[in-house]
Structures are given as C-alpha cells and as structure tokens.
Amino acid sequence: MSENCNKIHQLFKRMKKFHFRFNENEIPHNGIYIIFEKGEKAHRTDRIVRIGTHTGDDQLRSRLWQHFINKNKDRSIFRKNIGRALLNRNKDSFL
C-alpha cells in the first residue's frame, strides 16, 4: 500500500463509524461519506468501496438514505460516468 493510501486508511480508522440503519440525528448535515463493505478487507484493513458527497446544503443525510433505500439509481454520477466511458470505448453514437 502506498504511503498516501495508508495515511487515508489511518485517518478513516480514527473516525466514528455509522451502520445502516443509522440514527439520522447523529449524522452531520454536510460532509463526505466513506462506505466500507462489511467483512471485506484490502491491505489488511477495511476495504473502502465508495467515497462520495452530496449536492446542496444539508443533504448528506438524504444522500446516505438514497444509497440504501432508493431503488432508482439514475441519479448516480458514478454510474453515469462508467456508462459514458463504456460508450466512448465502443465509439457508440449514443454519446
């Protein structure tokens, strides 16, 4: 693991962890979220599976609920970017 990667993991280890179904009142209104998959390890530590943020003020709680509750994944910029990359790779005219 690179030194920078190790520093990031060490920083995240010191932070308070929340588990779904979390108490919404304990979640800050704004911030960056880091999601780990229970039981998955990388570099002998918890594997980070997602890092993200929210759009607009006071939307962090809503964004976290969207990850776990909302079946509509069309809002995910990550998914859109992966789709665009695949279409671009294949020189698809849909772009």
Residue type, 30: N
Q: Where do the DSSP E strands lie in the chain?
A: 33-42, 45-52
Tokens for 77, please give them.
């910029």
Tens-of-pLDDT digits for all 95 residues of the chain? 688 888 888 898 888 888 888 888 888 899 888 888 889 988 888 888 888 887 789 988 888 887 777 666 666 777 788 889 999 998 888 86
pTM of structure: 0.64
Amino acid identity, position 70 = N
Backbone Cα Rg of the chain: 16
Structural domain boundaries of the chain?
Answer: 3-89
